[in-house]
């Protein structure tokens, strides 16, 4: 059975890229500029898409001087994760070739709408060149949209608590750190520390995980062939509708509420285990006023997300890991009820690590702060 390549395969390929640059001895292409090479790398995709051209472009980018770093960082904006990894390699290669253009790198870092991955790299370059700046920079970054930078800023806040002696001051310090933290491991650490001080933390509420759903499935996904098949739940979400799914299974929408402490919705629990299958999950999210939001999804399976009928997330990738805020998209909410529909596709792999069929989703502002507590009715 033909299977899709996973992220781990792509990572192995990336490890070979530098070697390929040397072995291929690619000739420099006349008239091709830095922007064109960057755009070529940005077209790299799964299953080898664009890899040959990207390797040739990387052979040129790896030769660029340090003053090319700002443009390489800019190139990460809008790039997929695979292309980001390739461009990061080009930045690191350029950084070894001379004095860094620190003023331009700092200017890039200060623009918070730039790629969080590129901004983190810019931060690392600045700190490597001037370690003494790190603390002062982090003091201003508790609300940074880059989760990695924010994590380090929160770590600095946590280090201050060690010097406190009064319980009330420690609680206040941990509460401040918690309000800014977005990383699960860090939040658990803070929650444990607060628990020892007699304070309880509701992590689901902190993250704003959406827990209440109507689920429907299984629909067929044999040979991973139905990712783009529009099954009836994509047309409308009539909760009284019934369906004929894979293998003739009859079912309707089923109400399900997750009780997982991290807000994970386990479709194996909600619908029973199915392989080569697709499930849909539908929920309403209420908003007091119209606004722009982030939709933040974690999912180990292939997935799609619609907000008010508009497709905002689409990833035809299987078992490439799952972590908080794995996929982030912008969307618009209207005043009142807003619909969220998720499509989660399971393949037919039998390995133990390929059995999970689940997702975790939340609605936040652009810094990752939850909107209310995931208000649902």
pLDDT tens for the chain, 377 residues long, are 333 444 444 455 445 544 444 344 333 443 458 999 999 999 988 777 888 999 999 999 999 999 999 999 999 999 998 999 999 999 999 999 989 999 999 999 999 999 999 999 999 999 999 999 999 999 999 989 898 999 999 999 999 999 999 999 999 999 999 999 988 789 989 999 999 999 999 889 888 999 999 999 999 999 999 999 999 999 999 999 999 999 999 999 999 999 998 899 999 999 999 999 999 999 999 999 999 999 999 999 999 999 999 999 999 999 988 988 899 999 999 999 999 999 999 999 999 999 999 999 999 988 788 986 445 55
Q: Which residue has the tokens 């997982």?
A: 260
Calpha distance 376→360 (Å, rounded):
16
List, in sequence order, every residue forming a beta bridge with 74; answer none if it has no partner: none
The answer to whether residues 215 and 271 touch, using CB atoms and an 8 Å cutoff, is: yes
Q: What is the pLDDT of residue 185?
A: 86
Which two three-digit tokens encode residue 292? 């722009």
Q: How far is CA 362 from the centre of its chain?
A: 12
| Phi/psi at 163 (5° precision) | -85, -5
The whole-model pTM stands at 0.66
What does the radius of gyration of the chain's CA atoms come to, in whole angstroms?
A: 23
Q: Which of 124, 131, 125, 193 is nearest to 157 (CA)?
A: 193
Spatial separation of the C-alpha atoms in residues 275 and 55, rounded to whole Å:
36
pLDDT at 3: 39
Question: Does the CA dihedral 158-374-229-328 come out positive or negative?
Answer: negative
- 41's enclosing H/E stretch is helix 34-42
Residues 6+ apart with CB under 8 A from 355: 268, 273
Q: Give the CA dihedral 90, 95, 96, 99, nearest 10 degrees.
A: 150
Size of the chain, expressed as the number of residues it contains: 377
Find the Cα–Cα–Cα–Cα dihedral 58, 61, 63, 68, rounded to 10°: -160
């Amino acid at each position: 059975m033909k299977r899709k390549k996973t992220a781990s395969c792509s990572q192995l390929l990336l490890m070979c890229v530098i070697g390929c640059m040397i072995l291929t001895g690619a000739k420099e292409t006349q008239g091709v500029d830095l922007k064109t090479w960057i755009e070529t790398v940005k077209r790299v995709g799964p299953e080898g898409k664009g890899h040959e051209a990207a390797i040739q472009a990387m052979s040129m980018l790896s030769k660029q001087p340090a003053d090319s770093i700002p443009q390489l960082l800019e190139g990460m904006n809008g790039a997929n994760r695979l292309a980001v990894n390739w461009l990061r390699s080009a930045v690191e290669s350029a950084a070894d070739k001379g004095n860094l253009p620190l003023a331009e790198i700092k200017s890039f870092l200060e623009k918070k709408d730039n790629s969080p991955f590129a901004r983190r790299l810019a931060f690392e370059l600045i700190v490597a060149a001037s370690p003494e700046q790190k603390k002062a920079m982090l003091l201003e970054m508790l609300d940074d949209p880059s989760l990695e930078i924010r994590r380090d800023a929160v770590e600095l806040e946590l280090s201050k608590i060690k010097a406190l002696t009064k319980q009330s001051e420690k609680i206040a310090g941990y509460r401040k750190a918690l309000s800014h933290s977005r990383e699960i491991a860090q939040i658990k650490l803070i929650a444990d520390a607060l628990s020892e001080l007699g304070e309880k933390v509701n992590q689901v509420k902190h993250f704003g995980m959406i827990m209440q759903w109507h689920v429907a499935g299984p629909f067929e996904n044999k040979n991973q062939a139905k990712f783009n098949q529009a099954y009836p739940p994509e047309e409308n979400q009539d909760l009284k509708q019934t369906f004929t799914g894979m293998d003739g299974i009859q079912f309707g929408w089923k109400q399900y509420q997750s009780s997982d402490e991290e807000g994970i919705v386990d479709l194996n629990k909600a619908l029973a285990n199915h392989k080569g299958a697709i499930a849909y999950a539908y929920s309403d999210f209420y908003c007091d006023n119209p606004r722009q939001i982030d939709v933040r999804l974690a999912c180990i399976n292939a997935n799609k997300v619609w907000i008010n009928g508009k497709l905002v997330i689409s990833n035809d990738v299987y078992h490439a890991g799952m972590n908080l805020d794995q996929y982030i998209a912008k969307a618009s909410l209207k005043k009142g009820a807003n619909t969220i529909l998720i499509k989660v596709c399971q393949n037919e792999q039998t390995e133990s690590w390929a059995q999970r069929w689940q997702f975790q989703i939340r609605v936040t502002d652009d810094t990752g702060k939850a909107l209310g507590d995931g208000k649902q009715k």
